[in-house]
Amino acid sequence: MDVEPEIIDGKYFLGTLCRWGHKYEGKPVSLRYLSGSKYCVECMRARMKYYHDSHRQEHRAKARYAYRKKVMARLEMG
Give contact residues for Zn ion (rule: CB under 5 A): 18, 20, 22, 40, 42-43
Residue whose CB is less far from Zn ion, 37 or 54: 37
Write down the least CB distance from residue 27 to Zn ion, Å: 13
Q: How far apart are CA 38 and CA 17, in angstroms?
A: 11
Amino acid symbol at 8: I
Could you tell me which residues come within 8 angstroms of residue 42 by beta carbon, excluding any fewer than 6 positions away? 18, 20, 22, 30, 31
- C-alpha 6: how far from chain center: 25
Residue whose CB is less far from Zn ion, 16 or 54: 16
Residue whose CB is less far from Zn ion, 37 or 57: 37
Write down the least CB distance from residue 57 to Zn ion, Å: 23
